[in-house]
Structure 1
Amino acid sequence: MADDASRKRKVRGKKIRASREQKEGRRAKKELARSAASVGELNGDSPLADPETVVPEPFVETDAVRTLQERITGWLEADQPIHLIGPTGCGKTALALSAAAERGRPVVWLNGDEAVDTAALVGSHAGGERYEEHDQYVGGVDKKTQIVRERWVDNPLSVAVQEGATLVYNEFSRSDPAAHNVLLSVFEEGVLERPGKRGEDRTIDVHPEFRAILTSNDAEYAGVHEQQDALLDRFVGVHVDYYDAETEREIVAAHVDLSADDIATVVETTRALRDEFEIVVGTRAAITAAKGLAVFDGQGEPREAGGFDDETLTNVFTDVLAPKIAGDGEGNIDELRTQIVETI
């Protein structure tokens, strides 16, 4: 066990303040920055984001988290693309964004799904611009020439490789593997080809500061595609699992205003259910359960620490985990509740 000093909770390297006003102030500043970035995208501006605006709020650093961060940043310094793999709700995305921000370079975000194709990565033609030129060779004679110019719009990968940004490709394995053929030349030859674009700038030399962090759920999750070996061979894979109990308590405490004893109860219950169930019971579930317990137990009235009764815990965790078996029938909900009761 680490000593008390090493277990102190940190948010982005600073001790968590007890003041909720300070937390809300930091959150408001980041929301304002994100809103400004969204407006820029709607106006056709670059998807580049300032690194300070992408760090999750709050972000907890313990010894376990810092160890993973150092592995990731070390591989990035070695110019290796990183593939973070692990169960849902274990903090892969937060870890990727934090590591990207630490580089101090602009960050480009991309979320994978079935709709992502090559054009969604590298760009495409977005219609044409039509205009007329007027030439008056002889008095009273006006010659009109219509000119159509195709307008090309770059997408996240093209922007990132040109600007030397850190690309954070979330849910990478949910995209069709065919869309990722363009990545082979990026990581092997340092060149990005933009299919569909004509002329000398069809290819882009990759900026020396370009880096990529990809996140994926484990292979057994629904909707996950098996990616091509030729591409996977060019990644460094870092497995991210659920953190130790101490770190999970720190993470939950950073999100919910509950006593240390109450948070310990939530995390202990979450970890017990995780061991018993086949469904995923991640750290995100612990945060959600803690938020529910803060509302439902005592209806917001002051309460002594550690005052959750078994029925309240059962009700809250049943609600939190029920969506994972949605569509399986009412009987399975009853079975879920029974298992939670037995575990608690």
Structure 2
Amino acid sequence: MADDSARKRKVRGRKIRDDRSSKEGRRAKKELARKASNAGERNGDSPLSDPGEVAPEPFVETDAVQSLRGRITGWLEADQPVHLIGPTGCGKTALALSAAAERGRPVVWINGDEAVDTAALVGDHAGGERYKEDDRFVSGVSKQTEIVRERWVDNPLSVAVREGATLVYNEFSRSDPAAHNVLLSVFEEGVLERPGKRGDDRSIDVHPEFRAIFTSNDVEYAGVHEQQDALLDRFVGVHVDYYDDETEREIVRSHVELSDEGVETVVDATRALRDDLDIVVGTRAAITAAKGLAVFDGAGNSEASENGQFDDDLLAEVFTDVLSPKVTGDQTDVDDLRSRIREAI
């Protein structure tokens, strides 16, 4: 009887140790899962942004701007990805961010360039996490359990698709078209495949509130790739050009402290140069020129600036400085640009 009781105590003790070991193992696995799922948030890597934080400030709300943004938000409401196409410096990015913020959903931002590949969009393995459990419950007996878990980090597209965010893909056409093959299934089947991800969660079902806005320069710009027709067929294209003179004045005025007459002079000069020069003269150039004129030689406080009558030499020099990076940099080219600017303004 004593022997039977001793045997039962041994069996029960072994069972307790096994149960404790199993419990600790499950706890370790849960902790690893929690750490992996929260890694992006902990490290500040989460691409999700509050819509109020991405809304451009300042942002001009003229009739022309509201009409264009209304087209964008209308197509988004119709569950269509929108591709904004237009010359550099015409306000595509600000327009895209404004439309994204207006939806009230989280926003995910991607900036396209040659380095963007499929992994940069959907995610990749980021090393592994290792956990060791050392059980010394019985003296002289050591039991060690090692748990290894690969850590996968989702990149912007995966996060946007899963969370129902608005994806703003700036300079979309600067990325290699091969990187965008994953977008085909997103817009056609409503599924994102994550190459390199193993297991049941290799794919993500697209959240019903997911939307996408892409921006691209016109095809004639350097560094621009032609994207595959199969993908472009799933977009709607909204072509954006420079705004009317009233809107451009409002935009410049919102960025620079300059008299109304001074702003009018800058915008008129910008629009004249846009017609006469064979380089791109965007609204951004007008803002930069206005900032320069508000500073150099005290122009911002002078009687001339109040009347919008800047010295012609100063006006020509400021616009030359603003636009000269667009020429080769050879002094002859800069001198030629200066002469053409003087003639135009």
Global fold match (TM > 0.5): yes
CA distance in 1, matches of 2:255, 2:268: 17
Aligned match of 2:99: 99
The correspondence for 2:310, drawn from 304, 308, 316, is 308
Q: Structure 1 counterpart of 2:337, which letter?
A: L
Aligned match of 1:31: none
Aligned match of 1:72: 72
Q: CA deviation at 1:300?
A: 5.0
CA distance in 1, matches of 2:41, 2:277: 42
CA distance in 1, matches of 2:41, 2:203: 24
Runs of 4+ in 1 over 6 A off after TM superposition: none
Q: CA deviation at 1:287?
A: 0.3
The correspondence for 1:319, drawn from 318, 321, 328, is 321
CA distance in 1, matches of 2:250, 2:138: 81
Aligned match of 2:112: 112
Normalised by the length of structure 1, the TM-score is 0.86
SS at match of 1:141: coil
Report if the CA contact (8 A) 1:97-1:168 is conserved: yes
Q: Structure 1 counterpart of 2:343, which letter?
A: E
Identical-pair percentage: 80
Matched, 1:60 2:79: no
Superposed CA RMSD in Å reads 1.5
CA distance in 2, matches of 1:170, 1:319: 27
Q: How does 1:156-305 map to 2 (within 5 A)?
A: 156-298=156-298, 300-303=300-303, 304-305=306-307
Indicate the larger mover: 127-136 or 97-106.
127-136
Q: Residues 42 and 131 of structure 1: is their aligned pair in 2 closer, same or farther, counting only changes over 3 Å?
A: closer
Aligned match of 2:47: 47
Aligned match of 1:29: none
CA distance in 1, matches of 2:85, 2:314: 34
Q: CA deviation at 1:195?
A: 0.7
Q: CA deviation at 1:312?
A: 0.8
Gaps of 5+ in 1: 1-39
Q: How many residues align?
A: 304
Report if the CA contact (8 A) 2:171-2:214 is conserved: yes
CA distance in 1, matches of 2:138, 2:196: 41
Q: CA deviation at 1:46?
A: 2.1
CA distance in 2, matches of 1:299, 1:61: 28
Q: Deviations over 1:60-82 (max 9, x none)?
A: 01111111011000000000000
Q: CA deviation at 1:138?
A: 5.7
Q: How does 1:12-31 map to 2 (within 5 A)?
A: none
Aligned match of 1:337: 338
CA distance in 1, matches of 2:259, 2:42: 43
Q: Residues 175 and 307 of structure 1: is their aligned pair in 2 closer, same or farther, counting only changes over 3 Å?
A: same
Q: CA deviation at 1:295?
A: 0.4
Gaps of 5+ in 2: 1-39
Which has a greater percent of helix?
A: 2
Report if the CA contact (8 A) 2:265-2:309 is conserved: no
Q: Structure 1 counterpart of 2:114, which letter?
A: E
Report if the CA contact (8 A) 1:217-1:224 is conserved: yes
CA distance in 1, matches of 2:41, 2:47: 6
Report if the CA contact (8 A) 1:41-1:47 is conserved: no
Q: CA deviation at 1:136?
A: 4.9
Report if the CA contact (8 A) 2:258-2:300 is conserved: no
Report if the CA contact (8 A) 2:293-2:299 is conserved: no
Report if the CA contact (8 A) 1:100-1:107 is conserved: yes
Give the number of the structure whose alpha-carbon radius of gyration is greater: 2
Q: Structure 2 counterpart of 1:55, which letter?
A: A
Q: Residues 197 and 161 of structure 1: is their aligned pair in 2 closer, same or farther, counting only changes over 3 Å?
A: same
Report if the CA contact (8 A) 2:89-2:282 is conserved: yes
CA distance in 2, matches of 1:107, 1:138: 55
Q: How does 1:83-94 map to 2 (within 5 A)?
A: 83-94=83-94
CA distance in 2, matches of 1:45, 1:216: 26
CA distance in 1, matches of 2:213, 2:207: 16
CA distance in 1, matches of 2:248, 2:317: 21
CA distance in 1, matches of 2:191, 2:124: 18
